[in-house]
Amino acid sequence: MNPALIILIIILGLAWGSFQNVVIYRIPLKKSWFLSRSLCPNCKKNIFWYDNIPLLSYLFLKGKCRNCKHKISIQYPAVELLSALLSLLAYLKFDLSWQFFSAFVLISILIVVSFIDLNHRIIPDVITLPGIVLGLIFSYFNPQGSLSASVIGFLSGGLSFYLLAYAGEVVFKKESMGGGDIKLAALLGAFLGWKNLIVVILLASFLGALIGGLKLTLSKSKKDQTIPFGPFLAAASVIALFWGESLIGLYLSHFFSR
């Protein structure tokens, strides 16, 4: 691996993470996120370029706005760092191939969707619907992928989650899964294919049950016990993206080699 290229990918990943923070903040508020200056959410003053350097500005300013001294959310450096680390992992896994660019786009979508879902309990269509199209396009051009597997993944992901949502509504007499989760499952099937989608669903269900159970056990408040499922789908998708084939191979070798 080229050390200079690794450093460049880390820098670009941090910068891209800074842009993702803009998208995460503005899309739920229906604000323009294209070619507009960043503002402090508290004092509404423009943030100058030297206070907007990914990761470094947060550390230099000690996590506070230069103008009003309002605390800056830890989410901002976290997103930047996560973007850089996952971009680097994608490069180390796929090199500069078509798979790398597909992985980079999927990772970007997952980061944005996860934090929007955590903050607002929504997964915007403006992200998932174009994302489904991109997933199908990448699978068509990816020499290591399969368009048929992608189409099956897209259809099975959307349909299975729609049926789960419908069943949950019938059993619990209320909405148990939002439409955003259904479209996100379809997107994941388009990017990852139907085999990896199975891995995603199993892992996400396990993580959701584990974290949800811990929250119910440890939480003292009974007001809001809802947990967004998008971040669990995202975490499971990252695992499937990098290690899905190995997990599937391990499963098949363990249960069918006897």
Q: Read off the pLDDT of residues 51-82 as tens digits, 9 standing for 90 and up.
A: 889 999 999 999 998 889 889 999 999 999 99
Tell me the mean pLDDT in the region 126-151. 91
pLDDT value at position 226?
73
From 19-23, 128-132, 161-165, 239-243, the region with the lowest mean pLDDT = 161-165
CA distances to 27, 30, 134, 222, 230 from 187, in Å? 19, 22, 9, 33, 12
- Please give the single-letter amino acid code of residue 218: L
Residue 163: name the closest of 181, 149, 148, 150 by CA: 181
As a whole-number percent, the residues of the chain with pLDDT over 90 amount to: 60
pLDDT at 35 (0 to 100): 66
pLDDT at 221: 63
Percentage of the residues of the chain whose pLDDT score is greater than 70: 93
Residue 218: helix, strand or coil by DSSP? Answer: helix
244 pLDDT tier (thresholds 50, 70, 90) = confident
Residue 85 half-sphere exposure toward CB, CA atoms < 13 A? 9
CA 81 – CA 94 distance, rounded (Å): 20
Whose structure tokens read 């509404």? Answer: 44
Question: Tell me, what's the pLDDT at 115?
Answer: 97
Arithmetic mean of pLDDT over the chain: 89
- What is the tens place of the pLDDT at every residue in 178-214? 789 999 999 999 999 999 999 999 999 999 889 888 8
Nearest 5°: CA angle at 181, between 142 and 129?
A: 50
CB atoms within 10 A of CB 164: 17
- C-alpha span between 130 and 113 (Å, rounded): 13
- Structure tokens that stand for 220 in this block: 């003292």
CA distance 37 to 32: 10
